[in-house]
Amino acid sequence: MRMDGGKFFGAYRAFSGIRDAVVLNHVPVGCNWGAGMFRTISDQADVRQACTVMHEREIVFGGEESLRRALLRADELYDAPLFLVIAGDVPSIIGDDVAGIVDELSLEKEVLWTEAAGFSGSMRSGYEEALLRLAPLMSGCDTTEGSINLIGFCPDDFKVESDVKEIKRSMKRAGIEVNCVISNCSSEEFKKAPAAELNVVFGQGTDLAKLMKEEFGIPYTELDYPYGIEGTEKFIEYVSESLGTGWDADLEHEIEPFKKVYLYLHELCKTPVSIIGDFHAGPLAEFLAAELGFEVEHLSSSGSDLDRQRFEQEVRGSDTMMIFGSSFERDLARELEVPLVRFNYPVFDQVSIYDNAPYAGFGGAAFLTETIINAIMGLGDF
């Protein structure tokens, strides 16, 4: 079994990243609840979603009338420029004509939609397809020199605000501006995404980057998520070379915080650890091994549940002293009595509300190291 939210979750995570849009889930109550729950845990004051409440009567008579009614009412109630409709399992099976309903209504707001039956694909595929559905919003515009778009984010990624802020700070030092963060931006920012000189894809959103290359001639590159001093340096070097902005790396200042704990870092060298997650996992493993000197015993980054089970079994039989993963790894960490550092979606038992506490970028390398040391020293705290 895959540990994967499926296509509906992927689409929801992509659509809800357009921060001034309303997501209308054309689904039974549970899908709407689940997607919203995973999101509101990390941001309780940002609720902009509704549901068409597909019930048995919709199964019998079709859900088109429910969708029509919900769109008309949403048009009256919400002060938002954009509605994004996600059609889940049930309308896909019963064959609701979502496009027909969206086309027939003359609403004040713009409406886009995507089909995202959970059975028809993975979370990644839902994310990719939903971003493609947003693409018609984009329009050709003047290029802003030395600017890039970052693609692959979700609004419910752990540390998303901090990481983006820190990546922007690091890029600025190299004279590079971040034009748009997809999908964690306003609809206006999304529309102006074609102003960037380069699209940088972290793990997902490649299809949109390809489309933007075809439509707007914007090149794209797929890079590792910038964890660590080295990882961030490589990332900035690559982008600055691509844009021809040039960059003189002066990392003395970034190394400074580590001096304060250099003895701990000596002691932690060769500590066996295990890592599980999505596309963030590989780059994190690289930082832990190459820069902190940890021994990465097991790394699982495919999202497949068979891999996950194998991962759990292997970790149980290993010398792992620390696990890096999502909140779903909490039971395993407790069982093995080792610390868990949460870095990967979904994180529902920790919060990240201060946007200067990143895991990515130069600053993130220090803060992540601080988190790791505190987790180890705090083991057994009750």
Partner 1 sequence: MERQLQDSSRKGPSLLQSTFRERAFNGIYEVVARQNHFYGINCKLSGSVYVVSEIEGAVPLVHGSCGCAFHHRLSPRKLFSPISDLACTEMDETDVIRGGEEKLRAGIIDVYQRYDPALIVILPTCVSGLIGDDIPGVIESLRSKISCDILHAPSEGFSHRDGDSVEVSLKNAAKSMKCSSAPPTAQDLRGCGHEEMMFALADQLMEEQDVIENSVNLEAFGRHTYRFWNDVEEMRRILGKIGVELNTTVPTTSVDAIKRAPSAPLNIVVTRNTRWADRMKERFGTDYVKKWYFYVGFDKVGKFFIEMASKLGLEGEAEDAIRRERKRALGDLSESRRLFKSYSFAISTQSFLFNPNLLSVYTEDLQMPLRWILIDSQPMKSMKISRDTVEMMTGNLIDIAEKQDMEIEILVDPSSEKMARVAKGVDWLLTDRTGPPSEKEGDLGMMNIATASNLIHQTGFCGIVEFGKHLAWKLQRRTKKDAQKDASNPHRKLIVSRFDYEEDCYPMIKDPMCSSSRRMWSEIWC
Please identify which residue in 17, 28, 226, 283 interacts with partner 1, judged by CB under 8 A.
28
Considering the rule CB under 8 A, would residue 107 count as an interface residue with partner 1?
no
Q: Whose Cβ is closer to partner 1: residue 89's or residue 254's?
A: 89
Return the SS3 of 226.
coil
Please identify which residue in 13, 15, 32, 231 interacts with partner 1, judged by CB under 8 A.
32
Say how many residues touch partner 1, by CB under 8 A.
67
Which residues between 242 and 301 bind partner 1 (CB under 8 A)? none
Kindly list the strands in the beta sheet with 49-51, ordered across the sheet, starting from the edge strand earlier in the chain.
49-51, 21-26, 82-87, 110-115
Please identify which residue in 14, 15, 26, 31 interacts with partner 1, judged by CB under 8 A.
31
Please identify which residue in 85, 87, 101, 117 interacts with partner 1, judged by CB under 8 A.
117
Q: What is 232-258 written as a DSSP string?
A: HHHHHHHHHHHHT-------HHHHHHH
Q: Are 277 and 253 in contact (CB under 8 A)?
A: no
Tokens linked to 367: 């803060």
Considering the rule CB under 8 A, would residue 94 count as an interface residue with partner 1?
yes
* Rounded (10°) angle between helices 160-173 and 361-377: 140
How many Cβ atoms are within 10 Å of 156's Cβ, its own excluded?
A: 23
Contacts within 8 Å (CB) and 24+ apart, 255-259 = 255/229, 257/366, 257/369, 257/370, 258/366, 258/369
Q: Which stretch binds partner 1 (CB under 8 A): 44-52, 146-154, 158-166, 258-266?
A: 44-52
Site string for partner 1, 319-358 (x = CB under 8 A): --------xx-xxx-------------x-xx---------
Please identify which residue in 14, 18, 54, 195 interacts with partner 1, judged by CB under 8 A.
54
Considering the rule CB under 8 A, would residue 8 count as an interface residue with partner 1?
yes
Q: Which stretch binds partner 1 (CB under 8 A): 24-32, 134-142, 159-167, 246-254?
A: 24-32
Tell me how far, at minimum, the Cβ of 41 lies from partner 1, in Å: 6
Tokens linked to 85: 């409709």
How far apart (Å, rounded) are the C-alpha atoms in residues 100 and 111?
12
The total number of residues written for the chain in this structure: 382
Cα 17 to the chain's mean position, in Å? Answer: 9
Summarize as ranges the residues that interact with partner 1 (CB under 8 A).
1-9, 22, 28-38, 40-41, 44-56, 58-59, 66, 69-70, 73-74, 77-80, 89-90, 93-94, 117-120, 122-123, 305, 309, 327-328, 330-332, 346, 348-349
